[in-house]
């Protein structure tokens, strides 16, 4: 429980420090129309050490090999049965950043889509990467770096991290640029990362105070429209000034993030609780089985029968009723939850019950 308390206190101090500092506009908003684009492609990884796809179960790998060899001028006789162990079919993904020009390089992620055991030591063959419009925007090729290791011997195996996903640094070259308009006419629009009327209003005030009254106007809680020069050089310099203006963002809404898979619980400094009483106990179910031998009567020509006899025991530990007082700070919430004596996994259930009872003043988000 001391470890849990220290973690919550560290998060509390971090949240309080962040909230007290001003942030640059570039960290809170982006320019409308300036965005990255996702790319995807299908390719082959070769040179694996017998850890590739089992071609009997992944026919698309064989089809891809035959098609590639045909394009390279190698025609296989009809009915050829390829038994490949050093080839794997993969998907290749990348993100095309804004204003990327032909010749620039991108990092790519390579993921197996067959039953390959490992991509370690493999080489990705030339793979076209397409956007949502079906056009090719980059070409990927290179040696994979897999952040894992595995070994198998005498029927036993060990594996550290995932072996079916690898990465190639600067593994793709941009072949086509995406045209992006830097604003609309005499205006540019700033889009907040999170909709908040207070933050939008403060951004407008900060820009007008720095660049002149009437330069910025809020459209809604997410978009701020800013008057900008029409000359592209002046516009770039103008945007540089705008994005480096510091603004104190509005207070974030109270939120508790619950990770049901790991049992992690994270809450921000705006979380408060109302007075409530909580009783939490553990339910333990024990199931044991022991063999029971039944012997036949003498001269009865019966057979000895061995049956399993199960014993089930259910034990409910006592849960003391604990009063949680009204609190207005994160530290008080932490102390109240620690007083219950619950584990992080138990907090998932307790916090949901407190929310249903109206005692938790925060939004619950389960991931």
Which tens digit of pLDDT belongs to each residue from 105-162?
A: 999 999 999 888 889 889 999 999 999 999 999 999 999 998 765 555 545 555 556 7
Please indicate whether residue 248 or residue 11 has the higher confidence score (pLDDT).
Answer: 248
- Looking at the fold, whether 79 and 168 belong to one and the same domain comes out as yes
Is 5 part of any domain? Answer: no
Q: 30: domain CATH number?
A: 3.90.1150
- Looking at the fold, whether 329 and 344 belong to one and the same domain comes out as yes
- Looking at the fold, whether 316 and 196 belong to one and the same domain comes out as no
The chain-wide mean pLDDT, for the chain, equals: 80
Query: What are the two backbone dihedrals, phi and then psi, of residue 238, each rounded to the nearest 5 degrees?
Result: -65, -45
- Looking at the fold, whether 186 and 125 belong to one and the same domain comes out as no
How do strand 321-324 and strand 276-279 relate by DSSP bridges? antiparallel
Angle at 273 between CA 281 and CA 345, to 5 degrees: 35
Confidence band (pLDDT; 50, 70, 90) for 25?
very high
- Residues, the chain: 367
- Looking at the fold, whether 53 and 128 belong to one and the same domain comes out as yes
How far apart are the C-alpha atoms of 293 and 308, rounded to whole Å?
9
- Looking at the fold, whether 46 and 27 belong to one and the same domain comes out as no
The answer to whether the beta carbons of residues 89 and 53 sit under 8 Å apart is yes
pTM: 0.67
State residue 327's pLDDT score: 67
How far apart are the C-alpha atoms of 157 and 191, rounded to whole Å?
50
Spatial neighbors of 264 by CB under 8 A, at least 6 apart, are 257, 258, 344
> Quick check: helix, strand or coil at residue 203?
helix
Is 2 part of any domain? Answer: no
Is 283 part of any domain? Answer: yes
Is 96 part of any domain? Answer: yes
- Looking at the fold, whether 213 and 84 belong to one and the same domain comes out as no
Is 9 part of any domain? Answer: no
Of the residues 174, 202, 233, the one at which a domain ends:
174
How far apart are the C-alpha atoms of 146 and 110, rounded to whole Å?
9
- Looking at the fold, whether 78 and 170 belong to one and the same domain comes out as yes
Is 301 part of any domain? Answer: no
- Looking at the fold, whether 60 and 97 belong to one and the same domain comes out as yes
Spatial neighbors of 175 by CB under 8 A, at least 6 apart, are 102, 136, 137, 138, 139
The answer to whether the beta carbons of residues 230 and 182 sit under 8 Å apart is no
Count: domains in the chain: 3
Is 230 part of any domain? Answer: yes
- Looking at the fold, whether 227 and 99 belong to one and the same domain comes out as no
Domain with 129, as residue range(s), is 37-174
Of the residues 118, 142, 174, the one at which a domain ends:
174
- Looking at the fold, whether 159 and 200 belong to one and the same domain comes out as no
Count CB atoms within 10 A of the CB of residue 249.
20
The answer to whether the beta carbons of residues 362 and 267 sit under 8 Å apart is yes
Of the residues 230, 247, 264, the one at which a domain ends:
247
Q: Highest-confidence range of 21-35, 298-312, 330-344, by mean pLDDT?
A: 21-35
- Looking at the fold, whether 314 and 358 belong to one and the same domain comes out as yes
Please indicate whether residue 2 or residue 248 has the higher confidence score (pLDDT).
Answer: 248
Is 109 part of any domain? Answer: yes
CA pseudo-torsion sign 60, 63, 65, 67: negative
């Amino acid at each position: 429980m001391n470890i849990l308390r220290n973690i919550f206190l560290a998060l509390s101090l971090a949240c309080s420090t962040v909230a007290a500092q001003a942030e640059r506009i570039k960290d809170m908003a982006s320019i409308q129309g300036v965005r990255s684009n996702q790319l995807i492609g299908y390719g082959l990884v070769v040179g694996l050490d017998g850890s590739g796809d089992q071609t009997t179960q992944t026919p698309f790998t064989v089809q891809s090999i035959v098609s590639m060899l045909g394009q390279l001028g190698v025609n296989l006789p009809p009915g050829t049965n390829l038994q490949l162990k050093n080839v794997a079919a993969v998907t290749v993904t990348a993100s095309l950043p804004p204003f990327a020009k032909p010749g620039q390089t991108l990092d790519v992620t390579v993921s197996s889509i067959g039953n390959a055991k490992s991509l370690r030591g493999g080489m990705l063959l030339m793979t076209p990467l397409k956007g949502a419009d079906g056009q090719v925007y980059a070409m990927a090729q290179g040696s994979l770096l897999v952040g894992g290791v595995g070994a198998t011997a005498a029927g036993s195996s060990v594996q550290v991290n995932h072996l079916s996903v690898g990465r190639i640094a600067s593994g793709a070259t941009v072949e086509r640029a995406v045209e992006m308009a830097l604003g609309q006419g005499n205006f540019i629009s700033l889009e907040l990362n999170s909709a908040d009327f207070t933050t939008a209003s403060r951004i407008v005030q900060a820009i007008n105070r720095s660049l002149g009254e009437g330069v910025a106007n809020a459209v809604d809680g997410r978009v701020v429209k800013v008057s900008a020069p029409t000359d592209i050089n002046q516009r770039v310099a103008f945007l540089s000034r705008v994005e480096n203006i510091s603004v104190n963002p509005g207070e974030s809404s109270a939120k508790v993030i619950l990770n049901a898979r790991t049992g992690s619980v994270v809450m921000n400094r705006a979380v408060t609780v109302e007075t409530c009483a909580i009783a939490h106990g553990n339910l333990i179910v024990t199931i044991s089985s022991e063999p029971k031998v039944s012997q036949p009567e003498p001269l009865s020509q019966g057979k000895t029968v061995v049956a399993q006899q199960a014993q089930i025991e259910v034990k409910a530990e006592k849960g003391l009723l604990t009063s949680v007082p009204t609190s207005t700070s994160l530290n008080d919430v932490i102390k109240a939850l620690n007083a219950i004596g619950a584990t992080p996994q138990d907090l998932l259930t307790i916090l949901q019950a407190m929310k249903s009872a109206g005692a938790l003043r925060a939004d619950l988000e389960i991931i």
